[in-house]
Structure 1
Amino acid sequence: MKKNIFKLLALATIFTISLQSCTVEIMEDTDIPTTEGGGSTSGNVMSGSGTLTGTITKDLTIKKGTYYIDGLVRITDGVKLTIEPGATFYAKTTTTSGLIILKGAKAYIEGTATEPIVFTTESKKPGDWCGITIYGDAPIKANGGGSTATSEDGLNQIYGGTDVGSNSGVYRYLRVEYGGKKIGDGTSEFNNITFYAVGSGTIVENIVSYKGTDDGIEFFGGTVSAKNFISYGNFDDAFDWQDGWYGQDNSNWFAYQTGTGNFGMEIESSNNADANFPKVAGVTLIRAAGTNPEVAGSSEISAIQFKKHGNGKFTNVYIDGYKNTGGKQAYPVLIQDSPTDISQVIANKVLVSPINVLNSDNAGVWGYAGFTSTAPKTITNTSTVTKVAITGGAWSTVEGVDLTSLLK
């Protein structure tokens, strides 16, 4: 149902937008026709409904409405994707679906507190889809000190560069649900939200990562920071990073682990002793009673773990509910290896203070896995440290529950 005539290009890149009963093929250097049916596309705009699929090579604006993601949708270098408040996306689960923001692309996914942008699935099962992945060219320190690396998600993307302030767009009042899909041979998997070498020019605020089967959020190097971040019910770690990520302007991080969950925070620097350290002001980690690690008998049950020269400075840290499980010891802070202790903790590149630890085992000490620290740390609770304060609303409400109510 085409109302305009396409100018066909022999080597044009095609992506398809399926709008209810209509399918429109969009060619490079071609006007996008208005289509009949429930939604429409006009002048690189989707309005009301439709399906994203394939590779997007021209700027695209998506209005408020209900849409589907079918397969891995890639936004290419130089392209701007704009999603307006109130848009909801359902990822198809009959294929490997996900939203991929490639290096050089920008996504402006800006909801509001009352009209968030939501990515979910109809079946609402953890691991249904791949979530959102963003690649950038900010600095990293990969294993061996490398300034670039290949993504571990099976897509073999090269990430990393020299642009500290690089800008991959704006991600605000956004909720991502049921990601973490395994792909290929099952050894590669996505997180709900993944930042590969994303720069500090990128804005990340008021985000919910809900019930994914891998990490709630993971940073692979880069300098981007996040404010008002909620990680709920993710199967692996609530927050995770490596490759020398050093965001400096992070605040109000809240993790609620329930059912299945490993570490509250897993922190490493890919064996680089000289990696810069990130900073987070205001961290609340809560583990509900009966929460177990992914693998029965695993020791991945502590609140904050440092390994492979992981470091960072975390202030106003509130920890609640980290109990010994399956015969393994849980700690508020766990150091996994002696090199990390010597080059990071004792060298004052790790700070977790002030801290308030409640309803947790081993609450008064740091844990050391398989070695004896030459300068073991103890914990003195500071009762003035309380849970972070995040203003909730429609953006933080899932299945009728405002997740910020868990902070009351």
Structure 2
Amino acid sequence: MKKLFYAIAIVATIFTGCSDDDDDVVPTKQPVVGEITGDITASRTLAYGNYTLKGMVKIQPGVTLTIEKGSTFTADKSNGENGLVVLKGGILIANGTADEPIVFTAKDKAPGQWAGIIMYGEAPIVASGGVASATSEDGLNLPYGGTNASHSSGSLKYVRVEYAGLVYNSNTKEHNGFSFYAVGSGTTLENLVSYKGNDDGFEFYGGTASGKNLISYGNADDSFDWQDGWRGQDNTNWFAYQTGTANYGMEIEAKSVNNTFWPKATNITLKRAAGTGTESASEKQYDAIQFKAQGNGDFSNIVIDGYASIEAGFGSAVQIRDLSTYNDQVVAGKIKLNNVKITNTPVLFLSQNSGGAFTVNAASFGVNWSVSTTATGASLTKGKWANIDGLDLLANL
């Protein structure tokens, strides 16, 4: 009996006791192993673990899915279409940390393996023709657009999406790293990474949500893209590093609806590595910032580097695509680009003359354009959240 009590005491000491020199033995928390699939119909918490993401997993309205920090989710394209969808009225709480991010990746480390994270909210949109609703282009064919600007779809902090951007049919079934449909300003989007996807890194389809500390690295289409009257007001610290294949650093449009509101973002760095090609040989889209279809915005403290023309008529710091956008947004003072530092980008402005001839230059913007040699761009803190297989995503910031 004494030996039994002694054994119990020794075990208790290993797990809870303290030695005289305070050299505690703390057991390492082991990840659980599991699979997440089907509809999430009841609120639940996924413990720290390594999970297989199988199928289009949908968080249903009224349901909250919480994911513990450090968890990893892996999709396998051979299983079909995989993704994580937050339906309108559902909530996703995925709060990692700088050293314990939540990672969504793919079995095969190549662009276009899965559908990424898709989130629906209840905030307003302005779609084609000025209507307040539209149908999603993610193949789910869901209506989006609401009336609650401050709505929350949850919280994403220190979340990394890798190898997403699965595309079936352009504009009718395509996926980004992160897709935000009518997401409201009550949603937290902070310290997010979209890495080597086959489409856009981040795309906002209307709504009022804002993103802070965003990294779009090596995505094959646009680094940051939005439409449907997106109007996030508190965006800061965006870093795009385009390498391999890429189109625009920022593609900005508003479905041809001339509007009196616009998004605001500060501390932006857009860099394009030498030798980076375009997604299509026939449509050479590689400007740092492109405005079209009445797109606008207020942007400041911007660093642009590496958007050199490799063919006449393509490649610039700022492109204005069409005459209506030039007249209604540039000349009308609804596009603001201030404190801009530009290097390795010989052509500042480019006009594609869609809808009629025009020439865009610094004078077109008036006081809404200013260059600087001291702009700093994005400011981001290194950590495991921004490091993939030994690659420091912030090395070129």
Does TM, normalized by the shorter one, top 0.5?
Answer: yes
2:385 to 378, 386, 395: 395
- 1:179 — aligned with what? 164
Tell me if 1:151 matches 2:136.
yes
- 2:305 — aligned with what? 320
Task: Determine helix, strand or coil for the equivalent of 1:343.
Answer: helix
- Does the 8 Å contact 2:303/2:342 carry over to 1? yes
1:76-155 correspondence to structure 2 within 5 Å: 76-94=60-78, 95-155=80-140
Task: Determine helix, strand or coil for the equivalent of 1:284.
Answer: strand
Deviation at 1:299, TM superposition (A): 2.8
- 2:314 — aligned with what? 329
Tell me if 1:200 matches 2:197.
no
Task: Determine helix, strand or coil for the equivalent of 2:329.
Answer: helix
TM-score of the aligned structures, taking structure 2 as reference length? 0.88
Tell me if 1:294 matches 2:279.
yes
- Does the 8 Å contact 2:137/2:171 carry over to 1? no
Task: Determine helix, strand or coil for the equivalent of 2:77.
Answer: coil
Distance of 1:297 and 1:285 partners within structure 2: 23
1:69 to 29, 53, 57: 53
- Does the 8 Å contact 1:301/1:325 carry over to 2? no
Which 5+ residue runs of structure 1 have no aligned equivalent?
1-39, 41-46
Q: CA RMSD in A?
A: 1.8
Distance of 1:185 and 1:349 partners within structure 2: 30
1:369 to 352, 366, 377: 352
1:343 to 322, 328, 331: 328
Deviation at 1:380, TM superposition (A): 5.6
Structure 1 residue identity aligned to 2:293: K
Which 5+ residue runs of structure 2 have no aligned equivalent?
1-29, 364-368
Task: Determine helix, strand or coil for the equivalent of 1:281.
Answer: strand
Distance of 1:367 and 1:186 partners within structure 2: 26
2:395 to 394, 402, 405: 405
Structure 2 residue identity aligned to 1:80: T
Tell me if 1:53 matches 2:37.
yes
- 1:3 — aligned with what? none
Distance of 1:198 and 1:175 partners within structure 2: 19
Q: 1:288 to 1:92 in 2, by over 3 A?
A: same
- Does the 8 Å contact 1:245/1:276 carry over to 2? no
- 2:288 — aligned with what? 303
Distance of 1:281 and 1:78 partners within structure 2: 34
Deviation at 1:52, TM superposition (A): 0.8
Distance of 1:185 and 1:394 partners within structure 2: 33
Identity in percent: 49
- Does the 8 Å contact 2:103/2:161 carry over to 1? yes
Tell me if 1:357 matches 2:347.
no
TM-score of the aligned structures, taking structure 1 as reference length? 0.86
Deviation at 1:140, TM superposition (A): 0.2
Distance of 1:202 and 1:380 partners within structure 2: 32
Q: Which moved more, 1:307-316 or 1:270-279?
A: 270-279
- Does the 8 Å contact 1:297/1:327 carry over to 2? no
Q: 1:315 to 1:295 in 2, by over 3 A?
A: same
| CA deviations over 1:95-116 (Å, ceiling 9, x no partner) | 1100010000000010001100
Deviation at 1:367, TM superposition (A): 1.5
User: Structure 1 runs of 4+ off > 4 angstroms?
Assistant: 184-187
- Does the 8 Å contact 1:277/1:311 carry over to 2? yes
* Greater fraction of residues in helix: 2
Tell me if 1:386 matches 2:376.
yes
